[in-house]
Amino acid sequence: MSEPISDLETLTFEVNDNIGLITLNRPDSKNALDLQMRTDLTKVILHVREDQDIVALVITGSGGSFCAGGDLKSLSEARRPTIVNRKRVQDLHLWFRELVDLELPVIAAVDGPAFGAGLNLALAADFIFASPRARFCAVFGRIGLVPDLGGFFLLPRLVGLQAAKDIVFTARTVEPEEAKSLGMIRDIVPHEDLVTHALAFAKQFANASRPAIGMAKTILNKSSELDQRALSEMENYAQAICLETDYHHDAVARFLAKQPLAFNWDKEKIK
């Protein structure tokens, strides 16, 4: 049973049927990412990483917005030395890298704006569902900045280099249909059904092997950076571990006994 996390000020976190749900909850600022939200996200992500009962995680926003990006008000409160600005951005990756590498399926349910850092927060998910009201924008160029929060890593891997340059250089808004055609999102879902759909999708991983999916995700996240030999070595070690799990032995026993497998996506799949 997952224990509740105390002292969360800018988001809520709940676990039902072993599915975690993070809801960004600063609706007055369209869930802009301030320092407190970074602290709260760190707490929750580290908690999910350690809680082996959680099989998937859904991230969404409240009030008809996903996340409008960095909190410009807090960013503009005072001019800071360059080294302080660098440290401030570095600190983003203390929790964001943990989210990208979280060894379970992460699903983003995007309603309304996912701008700037909010775009990259969504792209950190393994699957994105968007409402027709969703809007995606690498807005940094409009205020003379470059993408942060992993944008240089995530965006070109999803949409390709040329499309990433288009999105970043123009800082234009990408609507759901284009986002789907680019491979940024999995599907478009009515806003009133969005979170329910994302949770139902996440629940389909309830009987999957968390170690197998976790290690596959870690290797896939490295697949464009490593050569075939390095990936083969990662594969060798991961498979050796998976072959000795109780999950694998149970699945083989079920197969040999002609019993249904515990995890079969095709059986009751949700888009």
Q: Amino acid identity of 239?
A: Q
Same domain, yes or no, for 124 and 230? no
Do 148 and 89 form a contact (C-beta atoms < 8 A)? yes
Same domain, yes or no, for 83 and 194? yes
Q: Which residue has the higher pLDDT, 78 or 116?
A: 116
Residue 1 has pLDDT above 60, yes or no: no
Do 32 and 26 form a contact (C-beta atoms < 8 A)? yes
Q: Assign residue 114 the CATH number of its domain.
A: 3.90.226.10
Same domain, yes or no, for 215 and 141? no
DSSP string, 133-159: T-EEE-GGGGGT----TTHHHHHHHHH
Identify whether 128 is part of a domain: yes
Question: Which tokens sit at 37?
Answer: 């939200």
Q: How confident is the model at residue 74 (pLDDT cuts 50, 70, 90)?
A: low
Same domain, yes or no, for 99 and 223? no
Q: Distance (Å, rounded) from C-alpha 88 to C-alpha 93? A: 10
Residue 164 pLDDT: 97
> In 3D, which of 262, 134, 102, 129 has the Cα closest to residue 202?
129
The residue range of the domain holding 243 is 210-256
Residue 73 pLDDT: 65
Considering the entire predicted model, what is its pTM?
A: 0.91
Q: What is the DSSP pairing of strand 127-130 with strand 187-188?
A: parallel
- Exposure on the CB side of residue 73, measured as CA atoms within 13 A: 9
Q: Distance (Å, rounded) from C-alpha 185 to C-alpha 268? A: 21
Same domain, yes or no, for 170 and 135? yes
pLDDT tens-place string over residues 206-259: 999 999 999 999 999 999 999 999 999 999 999 999 999 999 999 999 999 999
Residue 88 pLDDT: 72
Q: Distance (Å, rounded) from C-alpha 147 to C-alpha 138? A: 7
Residue 267 pLDDT: 81
Same domain, yes or no, for 187 and 218? no
Residue 83 has pLDDT above 90, yes or no: no
Same domain, yes or no, for 166 and 246? no
Question: Which tokens sit at 168?
Answer: 């970043």
Q: Distance (Å, rounded) from C-alpha 271 to C-alpha 268? A: 10
State the chain's mean pLDDT as an integer: 92
Range picked from 37-41, 189-193, 267-271 for highest mean pLDDT? 189-193
Question: Which of 23-37, 78-92, 104-118, 190-204 shows the lowest mean pLDDT across its residues?
Answer: 78-92
Query: By three-state DSSP, how is residue 237 classified?
Result: helix
Q: How far apart are the first and last CA of the chain?
A: 29
**Cα angle: 10, vertex 25, 1; to 5 degrees:** 75
Question: Which tokens sit at 111?
Answer: 């309603």
Residue 109 has pLDDT above 60, yes or no: yes
Same domain, yes or no, for 121 and 136? yes
Same domain, yes or no, for 60 and 33? yes
Q: Distance (Å, rounded) from C-alpha 133 to C-alpha 131? A: 5
Residues belonging to the chain? 271
Question: Which tokens sit at 33?
Answer: 């990412």
pLDDT tens-place string over residues 194-204: 999 999 999 99
Structural domain count, the chain? 2
Using alpha carbons only, how large is the chain's radius of gyration in Å? 19
Residue 79 pLDDT: 67
Q: Which residue has the higher pLDDT, 150 or 267?
A: 150
Count the helix, strand and coil residues of the chain and give each as a percent rounded to the nearest 5. 50, 15, 35
Same domain, yes or no, for 90 and 177? yes
